[in-house]
Chains A and B, each alone.
Chain A
Amino acid sequence: MAATDGAVPGTYCAIGADLWFRRRPDGSYEIGLSRAAQERAGPISHYRGPLVGRRYGKGEPALSLETEKWVGHLPLPVAGTVIEANRALESDPSPINRDSYGAGWLYRMKPEDSRALEELFRNGTTAQDSR
Chain B
Amino acid sequence: MAWTVANNGAPNTLLLARPSAPYVSLGFHQSFAEEIDPAFLERRPIPVLRRVEGGGTTYLDPDQQFYQLAYREEGGGGGGPADLERFLRAPVRAARALGLAATLRPPSDLTVGDRKFSGNAGGDWEGAHLLVGGFLGRADLVSMTEVLRLPDPALRPILQRAVGRWITSWEAETGRVPDPEALRDALVRAFVRERLFRVRVGDPSPEEERRFRTETLPRHADPRWRDLPPIPKRPGTPLRSIRIAGPHGMIVLEAGSAEGLWAAIVEGDLLREGYRLVPGDGALAQPIPAASDEAGQLGRYLRRLPPFR
> Which of the candidate stretches B185-193, B228-236, B259-267 sits at the interface with the other chain?
B228-236
The answer to whether B306 touches A43, judged by C-beta atoms less than 8 angstroms apart, is yes
CB-CB under 8 A for A46 and B54, given A70-B80, A91-B231, A91-B232: yes
Instruction: Encode contact with A along B108-152: 1 for CB under 8 Å, 0 otherwise.
Output: 100000000000111111110000000000000000000000000
Give the chain A neighbours of B204 by CB distance below 8 A: none
In this assembly, does A94 line the interface, its C-beta being within 8 Å of a C-beta of chain B?
Answer: yes
B81 at the interface (CB under 8 A from A): yes
The answer to whether the Cβ of B53 comes within 8 Å of any Cβ in the partner chain is yes
B206, CB-defined interface residue at 8 Å: no
Question: With a CB–CB cut-off of 8 A, which chain B residues contact A86?
Answer: none
Which residues of chain A from 46 to 102 have a CB within 8 Å of any chain B CB? 46, 48, 61, 64, 66-73, 90-92, 94, 97
- Chain A residue at minimal CB-CB distance from B127: A61
Asked whether A73 and B125 contact (CB < 8 A) given A43-B309, A45-B306, A91-B234, the answer is yes
Question: Interface residues of B toward A: which range?
Answer: 20 to 34
B234 touches A42 (CB 8 A): no
Q: Is the CB of B81 within 8 A of A41?
A: yes
Contacts of A42 in B (CB 8 A): 81, 309
Inter-chain contact B309/A46, CB cutoff 8 Å: no
Please determine whether A73 and B124 come into contact, CB atoms closer than 8 angstroms: yes
Instruction: Contact check, B123 vs A68: say whether CB atoms are below 8 A apart.
Output: no
> When each residue 187-207 of chain B gets 1 if its CB lies under 8 Å from chain A and 0 otherwise, what string results?
000000000000000000000
Q: Is B175 an interface residue (CB 8 A)?
A: no
Complex CA gap A70/B87 in Å reads 14
* CB proximity to B under 8 Å, residues A1-55: 40-43, 45-46, 48
For A, the interface residue count at a CB cutoff of 8 angstroms equals 22
Judge whether B164 is part of the interface by a CB distance below 8 angstroms.
no
B155 within 8 A of A: no
A71, B124: Cβ atoms under 8 Å?
A: yes
State the Cβ distance, B244 to closest chain A Cβ, in Å: 13
CB pair A69–B121 under 8 Å, yes or no, is: yes
When distances are taken between beta carbons in the complex, the residues of chain A under 8 Å from B54 are 45-46, 66, 71
Asked whether B306 lies within 8 Å of A94 as measured between CB atoms, the reply is: yes
Whether B81 lies near A70 (C-beta < 8 A) is yes
How far is B29's CA from A91's CA once the two chains are assembled, in angstroms? 10
CB distance from A85 to the nearest CB of B (A): 14
1/0 contact trace for B47-76 toward A, CB 8 Å? 000000110000000000000000000000
Q: A46-B29, A91-B233 are in contact. Are A69 and B307 (CB under 8 A)?
A: no
CB-CB under 8 A from A61, the residues of chain B are 126-127
Task: For B107, list chain A residues within 8 Å (CB).
Answer: 68-69
Output the nearest chain A residue to B29 by Cβ-Cβ distance: A46
User: CA A131 – CA B134 in complex, angstroms?
Assistant: 38
Closest to B130 in A: A71
Chain A hits for B28, CB < 8 A: 48
Residue of A nearest to B51 (CB): A71
Rounded to whole Å, the gap between the CB of B149 and the closest CB of chain A is 20
Q: Known: A43-B309, A46-B54, A71-B53. Contact between A90 and B231, CB under 8 A?
A: yes
User: Min CB distance, B231 to chain A, in Å?
Assistant: 6
Distance from B26 Cβ to chain A, minimum over Cβ atoms (Å): 14
Q: How far is the CA of A48 from the CA of B123 in the complex (A)?
A: 15
A71/B306 in contact, CB under 8 A: no
Inter-chain CA distance A69–B80, complex, in Å, is 10
C-alpha spacing A64/B54, complex, angstroms: 10
30 A-B pairs whose Cβ atoms sit less than 8 Å apart in the complex: A41-B81, A42-B81, A43-B307, A43-B309, A45-B54, A45-B306, A46-B54, A48-B29, A61-B127, A64-B53, A66-B54, A68-B107, A69-B81, A69-B107, A69-B108, A69-B120, A70-B80, A71-B54, A71-B122, A71-B124, A71-B125, A72-B80, A73-B124, A73-B125, A73-B126, A90-B231, A91-B234, A91-B237, A92-B237, A97-B306
Using a CB–CB distance below 8 Å, which chain B residues touch chain A?
A: 28-29, 53-54, 79-81, 84, 107-108, 120-127, 231-234, 237, 243, 306-307, 309
